[in-house]
């Protein structure tokens, strides 16, 4: 979608749809742009409000056909709720709802006066514009790669015009650019996660990462099985040994300032997780293609970071493998040696993500990372604890964690810090080895995170468990059904804030 910012009135722009907000309980009051626009339509909007047909309730929509107006064919009225309750997060939702309606109307060009959405005094126009553009791009996302026929009754708009006063200036244009990059990177990650397992193997995932690197000027390095054996990545190799698909360790690097500290983003890349010998139930196993969502988030984030060019250094590390049962697969009771030298007793082969991340964390430190963030669909226990609303967070460094949580808040992604009391570590102490790869069902998301903390050691580290937030069955605004691209925007924001 092409997006441009114009310092014009909504009455002056030729478009298929003009999007107008209507606030709840405000009677005949309209925003300045909406009021001017309504006058050219013989006060149709006010008439509908006065008749009670339009009440301004949040996300309520009404389409008006402007047959007599050649420059604007239709008007989409979007209920914005109560004026003093409108936030950036809600603007994202409204934009998603609006663009989904525009798709149904087959609109090619849409126009919105962002000044009317930035009505509450606490909302800056630039932030409102960023939220709107993100919501519009995220909400109009579709994945139809494998459909022989597509819905020709719905067409994503080709152009969106953001109308703003001249005074809004460059800050608004910059916000719109950032929003495009954020949302497009999120949709890129969604595309990766939505692919079926036979079309997103470790090798294919590595190819997609290399293409991103080539197009965006990222450094890229790929470790094959032989390289991992030479390095001593026994934990990652143990998970991979049951699959006919060779594992890949993908390393991307963005250098924005050679003198600056390097931050590592580490993403779990299990392209299909059967559970291995500890095989999962048949029901829902098809969804285990999404177990590489953390890796997809890292690739998507590096894509946007390379385009926005902050003065930071970012490593992206994705251990990619399948977790499959076979005669040579990892077994419960086996003991493996990680890259750090620590040994791990295998309690269940379905706790494989922490094994591959353990080696990736050590490798990131060897490459010079001074701060770490790992992103993984790690535990069903996190879904039990937080549902599908928030991602779980575990850390060994509170100030670094606060920086990540602040970035998540800016990116409108909900994350919640879990405790890391030392008593929890007792659950993962090994009997025959240094560690166990599972501490049992109690506090499972916490003990999984603390397992990884053993490899982060003293390096500031934050673990983000996205098991409950990586995909959704129920569309609601920006997240349409399928992959959500969660954590992409947070990782981008972390990099921008670190400048």
Compute φ and ψ for 189, nearest 5 degrees. Answer: -65, -40
The answer on pLDDT for 32 being more than 90 is no
Tokens 């478009």 correspond to: 15
Question: Is 52 or 284 the better-scoring residue by pLDDT?
Answer: 284
Instruction: Tell me what percent of the residues of the chain surpass a pLDDT of 90.
Output: 77
Q: Please list, in sequence order, all residues whose beta carbon lies within 8 angstroms of the beta carbon of residue 24, skipping any fewer than 6 positions away.
A: 55, 56, 57, 58, 79, 80, 81, 82, 83
Q: What are the tens digits of pLDDT across the range 358-386?
A: 999 999 999 999 999 999 999 999 999 99
Alpha carbons within 13 angstroms on the beta-carbon side of residue 22 total 30
Kindly state whether residues 458 and 487 are assigned to the same domain. Answer: yes
Kindly state whether residues 140 and 213 are assigned to the same domain. Answer: no
Cα distance between the two ends of the chain: 29
Kindly state whether residues 239 and 107 are assigned to the same domain. Answer: no
Q: Hey, what are 225's tokens? A: 């099985």
In total, how many domains does the chain have?
A: 2
Domain end, chosen from 184, 219, 241, is at 184
The answer on pLDDT for 328 being more than 70 is yes
pLDDT, average across residues 388-396: 97
Looking at residue 137, which CATH number applies to its domain? Answer: 3.40.220.10
Which of 109, 354, 365, 371 is catalytic? The answer is 354
Compute φ and ψ for 364, nearest 5 degrees. Answer: -60, -40
Q: Is residue 190 part of a domain?
A: no
Judge contact between 47 and 105, C-beta under 8 A.
no
Domain that holds residue 49: 2-184
441 vs 162: CA distance, rounded Å = 50
Contacts of 403-406 with CB under 8 Å at 24 or more apart are 403/494, 403/497, 403/498, 404/373, 404/462, 404/464, 404/490, 404/494, 406/497
Kindly state whether residues 239 and 333 are assigned to the same domain. Answer: yes
The number of residues making up the chain comes to 499
190 belongs to the catalytic site: no
Q: What pLDDT, on the 0 to 100 scale, is given for residue 452?
A: 98
The answer on pLDDT for 210 being more than 70 is yes
Q: Is residue 189 part of a domain?
A: no
Kindly state whether residues 205 and 132 are assigned to the same domain. Answer: no
Kindly state whether residues 212 and 68 are assigned to the same domain. Answer: no
Kindly state whether residues 358 and 475 are assigned to the same domain. Answer: yes
Q: How confident is the model at residue 28 (pLDDT cuts 50, 70, 90)?
A: low
The answer on pLDDT for 152 being more than 90 is no
Domain end, chosen from 128, 154, 184, is at 184
**Helix or strand run (H / E) with residue 230:** helix 225-231
Kindly state whether residues 203 and 175 are assigned to the same domain. Answer: no
The answer on pLDDT for 313 being more than 70 is yes
Kindly state whether residues 134 and 244 are assigned to the same domain. Answer: no
Kindly state whether residues 178 and 301 are assigned to the same domain. Answer: no
Q: How confident is the model at residue 147 (pLDDT cuts 50, 70, 90)?
A: confident
Which of 73, 82, 280, 331 is catalytic? The answer is 280
Compute φ and ψ for 426, nearest 5 degrees. Answer: -60, -30
Q: Please list, in sequence order, all residues whose beta carbon lies within 8 angstroms of the beta carbon of residue 232, skipping any fewer than 6 positions away.
A: 337, 339
Kindly state whether residues 179 and 242 are assigned to the same domain. Answer: no
Looking at residue 286, which CATH number applies to its domain? Answer: 3.40.630.10
354 belongs to the catalytic site: yes
**Helix or strand run (H / E) with residue 442:** none
Q: How confident is the model at residue 330 (pLDDT cuts 50, 70, 90)?
A: very high
């Amino acid at each position: 979608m092409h997006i441009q910012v114009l310092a014009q009135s909504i009455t002056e722009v030729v478009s298929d749809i003009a999007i107008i907000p209507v606030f709840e309980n405000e009677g005949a009051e309209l925003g300045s742009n909406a009021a001017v626009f309504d006058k050219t339509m013989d006060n149709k909007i006010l008439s509908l409000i006065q008749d009670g047909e339009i009440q301004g309730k949040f996300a309520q929509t009404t389409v008006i056909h402007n047959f007599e107006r050649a420059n604007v064919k239709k008007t989409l009225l979007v209920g914005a709720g109560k004026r003093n309750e409108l936030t950036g997060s809600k603007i994202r939702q409204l934009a998603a709802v609006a663009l989904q309606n525009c798709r149904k109307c087959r609109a090619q060009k849409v126009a919105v006066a962002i000044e009317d959405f930035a009505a509450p005094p606490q909302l800056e126009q630039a932030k409102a514009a960023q939220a709107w553009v993100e919501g519009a791009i995220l909400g109009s996302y579709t994945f139809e790669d494998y459909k022989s026929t597509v819905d020709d009754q719905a067409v994503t708009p080709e152009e969106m015009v953001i109308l703003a006063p001249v005074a809004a200036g460059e800050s608004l244009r910059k916000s719109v650019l950032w929003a495009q990059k954020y949302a497009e990177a999120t949709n890129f990650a969604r595309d990766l996660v939505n692919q079926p397992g036979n079309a997103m193997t470790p090798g294919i995932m590595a190819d997609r990462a290399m293409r991103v690197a080539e197009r965006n000027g990222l450094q890229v390095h790929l470790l094959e099985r032989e390289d991992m054996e030479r390095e001593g990545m026994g934990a990652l190799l143990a998970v991979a040994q049951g699959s006919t698909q060779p594992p890949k360790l993908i390393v991307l690097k963005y250098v924005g300032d050679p003198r600056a500290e390097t931050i590592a983003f580490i993403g779990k890349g299990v392209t299909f997780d059967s559970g291995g010998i500890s095989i999962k139930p048949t029901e829902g196993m098809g969804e285990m293609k999404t177990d590489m969502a953390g890796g997809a988030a890292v690739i998507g984030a590096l894509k946007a970071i390379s385009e926005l060019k902050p003065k930071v250094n970012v490593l992206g590390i994705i251990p990619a493998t399948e977790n499959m049962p076979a005669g040579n697969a990892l077994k419960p009771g086996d003991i493996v040696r990680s890259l750090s030298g620590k040994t791990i007793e295998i309690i269940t082969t379905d706790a494989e993500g922490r094994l591959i991340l353990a080696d990736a964390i050590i490798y990131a430190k060897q490459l010079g990372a001074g701060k770490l963030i790992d992103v993984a669909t790690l535990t069903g226990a996190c879904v039990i604890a937080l549902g599908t609303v928030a991602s779980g967070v575990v850390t060994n460094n509170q100030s670094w964690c606060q920086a990540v949580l602040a970035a998540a808040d800016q990116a409108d992604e909900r994350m919640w810090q879990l405790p890391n009391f030392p008593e929890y570590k007792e659950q993962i102490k090994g009997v025959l080895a240094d560690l166990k790869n599972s501490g049992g069902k109690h506090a499972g998301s916490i003990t999984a995170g603390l397992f990884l903390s053993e490899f982060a050691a003293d390096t500031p580290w934050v673990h983000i468990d996205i098991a409950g937030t990586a995909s959704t069955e129920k569309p609601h605004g920006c997240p349409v059904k399928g992959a959500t691209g969660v954590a992409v925007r947070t990782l981008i924001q972390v990099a921008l804030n670190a400048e």
